[in-house]
Amino acid sequence: APEKFVKDIDGGLDQDIFDINEDLGLDLFEGDIRLEAHGR
Amino acid sequence: NSIIGDHYRWPHTIPYVLEDSLEMNAKGVILNAFERYRLKTCIDFKPWSGEANYISVFKGSGCWSSVGNIHAGKQELSIGTNCDRIATVQHEFLHALGFWHEQSRADRDDYVTIVWERILADREHNFNIYNDSVSDSLNVPYDYNSVMHYSKTAFQNGTESTIITRISDFEDVIGQRMDFSDYDLLKLNQLYNCTSSLSFMDSCDFELENICGMIQSSRDTADWQRVSQVLGGPENDHSNMGQCKDSGFFMHFNTSTGNEGAKAVLESRVLYPKRGFQCLEFYLYNSGSGNDQLNIYTREYTAGHQDGVLTLQREIKEIPTGSWQLYYVTFKVTEKFRVVFEGLGGPDASSGGLSIDDINLSETRCPHHVWHIQNFTQLLGGQNINVYSPPFYSPEGYAFQISMYIEALTNVGIYFHLISGANDDQLQWPCPWRQATMTLLDQNPDIRQRMSNQRSITTDPTMTNDNGSYFWDRPSKVGVVASFPNGTQYSRGRGYGTSVFITHKRLKSREFIKGDDLYVLLTVEDISHLNSTAAVPDPVPTSTVQNACSEVECQNGGICTVQDGRPECKCPAGEDWWYMGKRCETRGSTRDTIVIAVSSTVTVFAVMLIITLVSVYCTRRRYRKKASANAAAMNLENQHAF
């Protein structure tokens, strides 16, 4: 039987970059871009 | 999907600093990500040594970057908590190199549909399209496989997909965070005019008759043949596994002729090393006898050795028969060289021989161990199952084991366990700062086209369990008793890893499972040297360097380096500012310089003017005197003249 004698570094969540940043309340451009004067 | 403007480009070698704020595991992962850039592109990275612009990688809040080189001097890139995944680092550095997200391309509506009502409120702007005046897709087709593509669940307000691909097969492909896609590399190498990479040397699947320029030696009794199957096995090559008609070749040495001591030697073309260390990878199939043997040599062409110096690097004996096996051999060659494959027929009867295929050579570090799981598909049979690897040892002697937790339907997890081993009494406990890197190998014949799935963890000696014991203490103290298949008992420490290593769908994609074989590559390296000051990720070479700099305090972010044995401060500088002085204590800027230049010019001009005025005045006064003297003389003369 599969034992769970383990520690999961992701807490069972497959979080993408944008999920991590959203959870931190960051409202970066397109989720992970720190916008300079790029004309966007 | 790149930002337009050459001024956004970095030099091919990008200066960087790994700030102290970074987590140890993140530092190791970032250096591993750099190795992927060095293998597949012409982008390289070097510790910052005072260049005008550099990337400062630090532990900020979240994972983010600017797009392109913004000439800020110190350009920040954040690898925060949970961002320490290699593909996340590759993604953020692609932003820094000048790439936007794939689905913001001008032509994206031809390929995906955005479902606006499923997007989180006030996050719709993250799905804008940008026309080709701002971004350039470099004439490369839309790439569902890009490491820069949102996943189908990006910014979702519920459980429904916010992005639907027009080709439904790609629905679960978008958002991959494993490695660069082929098109990612095509765009990056095009944007930076790459013609070669730092660490790739050669890849050969023997599909072309020229067999990659390899040569048959004359100092042997037989030749290697380029064939597509052998009666006694294998039935097909490793590259294509019989999938493609009229292709699928490999090299075979027939030992069934019965001549004991038969030898066949195949040599690579001449290769030119740059880094001084190499990793050879190849697949080997034995359909001969258990005593058939393969020896790997390097023939190094050093000064004074016309024919090169032959060095035996590895003897491969007792080769398992009946299936393709993956092998790695590490070299440390600094001069131009050939790789030599020498097949030796054993004394016993053979109905086949030795076959090699899918050779890759690169100037990278070989994995320390390979966990080969055969008949893997049956493990995906629809129930939760735990699979344990054999025991391995790290270079310093820590015994460890990997467990793979295969859920019935969705994900596969992977965990690193320390286990009791022969050296435990001599080792330091809790185990300090060993980074374990676990890589699910994408078995594409060409190393440059692989998208292997990799995760790393690092043993933090201060980490504790809920009961206060140290997580990485001796397994015999904090572990549980387990048994190897042969019944031997041992202690297994708690596993540390992730339950979402890869989804079943992605696991069945690409060439992770090939010939029903799956490989997990394992490396456990000591990264405690990364615990030092920010800018020096490599271990300091000698103690004198450390002493010389340890007494010197460079100010304003200056970096101490040693020139000719003397500590010197490398001062930071920006586009229009710099620090100077022995300890970088003085700040300068182009504005100051201009002010100084202008004021000195004005001063010089004023002085010159004064000098001119004074000299004119004096000259005029002298002439006036002279004139009046002459006039007086004239009068006198006239008086006497008459």
Give yes or no: B124 in active site. no
- Evaluate whether B102 touches B148 at the Cβ level (below 8 Å): yes
Nearest CA in chain B to A14: B500
The beta-carbon neighbor of B70 closest among A24, A31, A36 is: A36
Which residue on chain A is closest to B478 by alpha carbon? A5
State the first-to-last Cα distance of chain A, in angstroms, to the nearest integer.
54
Task: Give B591 or B73, the one with higher predicted confidence.
Answer: B73
For residue B496, give the chain A residue with the closest CA: A7
Query: Cβ(B438)–Cβ(B416) under 8 Å?
Result: yes
Mean pLDDT in residue range B297-316: 96
- For B457-511, the pLDDT digits (tens) are 999 999 999 999 999 999 999 999 999 999 999 999 999 999 999 999 999 999 9
In this predicted structure, the answer to whether residue B332 has a pLDDT above a threshold of 70 is yes
- What is the rounded distance in angstroms from the CA atom of residue B483 to the CA atom of residue B491? 8
Tell me how far apart the alpha carbons of residues B341 and B321 are, in angstroms, rounded to a whole number. 18
For chain A, the residue count is 40
Q: Tell me: the pLDDT tens digits for B333-388?
A: 999 999 999 999 998 888 999 999 999 999 999 999 999 999 999 999 788 999 99
pLDDT tens-place string over residues B112-152: 999 999 999 999 999 999 998 989 999 999 999 999 999 99
pLDDT averaged over every residue in chain B: 90
Look-up: residue for tokens 């450390």? B546
Residue from the list A7, A8, A32 with its beta carbon closest to the beta carbon of B92: A32
The pLDDT value given to residue B144: 98
Instruction: Count Cβ neighbours within 10 Å for each residue of B96-117 and write b for 16 or more, e otherwise.
Output: bbbbbbbbbbbebeebbebeee
Mind telling me how many Å the CA of B533 is from chain A's nearest CA? 26
Which residues are registered as beta bridge partners of B48? none
- Residue-level pLDDT at B538: 43
Mean pLDDT of B237-242: 95
Residue B595 pLDDT > 80, yes or no?
no
Span B215-232, average pLDDT: 94
Separation of CA A29 from chain center: 14
Q: Is the pLDDT of residue A2 over 60?
A: no
CA distance B55 to B466: 38
Measure the CA–CA gap between B84 and B25, rounded to whole angstroms: 7
Q: Which residues pair with B569 in a beta bridge?
A: B560
CB contact under 8 A, B497 and A38: no
Residue B430: cis peptide before it, omega within 30 degrees of 0: yes
Average pLDDT rounded to a whole number, residues B514-532:
95
Decide if B237 contacts B248 (C-beta within 8 A): yes
Q: Which of B81, B126, B471 sits opposite A31 (nearest CB)?
A: B126
Closest CA to B123 of B134, B113, B136, B114: B114
Task: Give B611's pLDDT tier (boundaries 50, 70, 90).
Answer: confident
Please state the rounded mean pLDDT for residues B528-548: 53
Structure tokens at B455: 């995760």
- CA-nearest of B163, B139, B166 to B153 is B163
Distance of CA B613 to the CA centre of its chain: 70
pLDDT of residue B615: 81
A1: pLDDT strictly greater than 70: no
pLDDT > 70? residue A40? no
pLDDT of residue B334: 97
Per CB-CB distance under 8 Å, the chain B contacts of A33 are 64-67, 95, 100
Range B562-589 average pLDDT: 63
Q: What is the gyration radius of the CA atoms in chain B, in angstroms?
A: 34
Neighbour tally for A38: CB within 10 Å: 19
Q: Among residues B271, B264, B261, which one has the least CA distance to residue B218?
A: B264
More confident residue, B570 or B469: B469
Say yes or no for a CB contact (<8 Å) between B495 and A13.
Answer: no
